[in-house]
Structure 1
Amino acid sequence: MAAGGAPPRGSAAAAASLRRRRTSGAGAAGGASGNMLQFYTDDAPGLKISPNVVLVMSIGFIAFVAILHVIGKLYLVPKGSA
């Protein structure tokens, strides 16, 4: 006999119990994912930017900061320290 009073594996009662658990869990997950999907609809408030634009802007920002670091190393070195 299985622990906790559960029906034995492979029985019709175990299959029915598994089906009940899956449908109740899917309903809870569907409700939570429904809340997340509202951020990706056309009705969502805010700025509409495609993922490609975000990628290009972030790479551009990283390149800009790297260029500023190089400029800082080349041109802002004290003249008498060499």
Structure 2
Amino acid sequence: MVANGEAPPRGSAAAAAGLRRRRATGGGGGAGGASTMLQFYTDETAGRKISPNTVLIMSIGFIAVVAVLHVFGKLYRGPQ
């Protein structure tokens, strides 16, 4: 790195060394986050397995039931 905080020139030996150092140590900053996100969809997690489509259908069904109950409540409330 250059002393004033700027990155070294692109084709320089310092830039190549920095790139090798980053590849060897971290394995990529985003790779760790991706592996933890994938853990939600593997067999290693505990609990009940529900697909995203099932959750979507159940959510839409719940919204529909609430809407129907709201309509019935308005229709059968009686005279005021």
Fold shared by both chains (TM-score > 0.5): yes
Specify the code of the residue in structure 1 equivalent to 2:12: S
57-66 or 41-50, which deviates more: 41-50
Specify the code of the residue in structure 2 equivalent to 1:37: L
Change (3 A) 1:5 1:30: closer
Please identify which structure carries the higher helix content. 1
Structure 2's unaligned 5+ residue stretches are none
Aligned residues: 78
Measure, in 2, the Cα distance between the counterparts of 1:21 and 1:45.
34
RMSD over aligned Cα, in angstroms?
Answer: 2.5
Measure, in 2, the Cα distance between the counterparts of 1:50 and 1:6.
45
- What is the CA-CA distance between 1:31 and the residue it aligns to? 4.1
Change (3 A) 1:17 1:43: closer
Q: TM-score, normalised by structure 2?
A: 0.70
Q: TM-score, normalised by structure 1?
A: 0.69
Measure, in 1, the Cα distance between the counterparts of 2:69 and 2:24.
56
**Greater length-normalized contact order (CA 8 Å, ≥ 6 residues apart):** 2
